[in-house]
A and B are shown apart, each in its own frame.
Chain A
């Protein structure tokens, strides 16, 4: 039996080798693309997490304005600015800063009878957006727009009851 295997003239033909080579190349390419994709997605997740934190930070400032002035938009000269577009840096990619922008939407006053007839709240939404570098960005220079929205409600006694802010 051993003789048959070792001394036999039967072996792999060129076609067999070519097919194996093609399959191996496909497997190698798949693994490579998968690894690159994982790398890009991990980076994107970091940007998303950081973006959410930066967005939350702006709401903390607005919350302070709300407590100080009873308003979302500040009126006193030394108070922090709010509801203006804010530019933030999310990361440094290939030596260049990856910048994002926070835009506030116009706040609206909402009265919700399910909460209280005497209470209303100011609904505020903010969006952070940035151009996420695409997979193999160095080669293709492609980017993808990502937007994240955060909403917060600022409650107060209803203005109509004369108990404003």
Chain B
């Protein structure tokens, strides 16, 4: 062992000058590709996750939200509506389902504090309150990774003289893949670091009433 430590044999300067760039030449493209791959898969994961979360919300609005520890008979969505009421800001809707029981529930889907929430009520008393449907809790540093851009309800044909009606739900949200770096302009940031998904869903309400 002592011989190894004290020996003066090794690579010459020429060998090192030639060898190190050669090794760099080999591994640089490989490293760049791997970085690109990791970046791509992170982006793909968040982009598909955003779509999944958004479609889940649209399904919940359409078919009904099922709160924890409840049975499916409390699911109230647009397809079960007898009457719907859209709020004046158009970012919330209350759905009264087809049900002639006095104990009937109603459900509201609305935006509050940049979150889509759902509440269920039986008359004046809340059965479930302000449950968050979107965005998921993922964070990038201190800010949320997913953000609502638009969530609105619209009576598509308010001039139609006969019921039934169609409700148009517009939902746009964006995901931030990474924070804006100092070198990046706002345009670059929007092009490379953000991805927006926009969905529009029409729901035919059968014989229900729209207020």
Contact = CB atoms under 8 A, between A and B. Distances in A.
A35 B7 CA distance: 48
A50 B9 contact: no
B164 A27 contact: no
Nearest to A92: B196
Interface residues of B, number: 44
A7 interface: yes
A160 B156 CA distance: 35
B40 A54 contact: no
Nearest to A39: B40
A27 B28 CA distance: 12
A67 B37 contact: no
A6 B51 contact: no
The 6 closest A-B pairs by CB, nearest first: A35-B40, A31-B33, A28-B29, A57-B202, A28-B33, A60-B202
A93 B95 CA distance: 37
Interface of A: 2-3, 6-7, 17, 20-21, 24-25, 27-29, 31-32, 34-36, 38-39, 42, 45-46, 49-50, 53-54, 56-57, 60-61, 63-64, 67-68, 76, 78-80
B201 A2 contact: no
Given A60-B204, A61-B202, A49 B51 contact: yes
B43 interface: yes
A49 B194 CA distance: 20
Chain A interface, DSSP helix/strand/loop, else mixed: helix
Interface stretch (B19-27, B102-110, B117-125): B19-27
Interface of B: 1, 3-4, 7, 9-10, 22, 25-27, 29-30, 32-34, 36-37, 40-41, 43-44, 47-48, 51, 55, 156-157, 159-162, 164-166, 197-204, 206-207
Contacts of A63: 204
B206 A67 contact: yes
Contacts, number: 103
A6 B199 contact: no
A80 B157 contact: yes
B7 A42 contact: no
Contact of A53 (B34, B41, B166, B200): B200
Given A46-B51, A64-B164, A79-B160, A38 B200 contact: no
Contacts of B48: 42, 45
A24 B30 contact: yes
B201 A53 contact: yes
B199 A53 contact: yes
A7 B9 contact: yes
Nearest to B11: A11
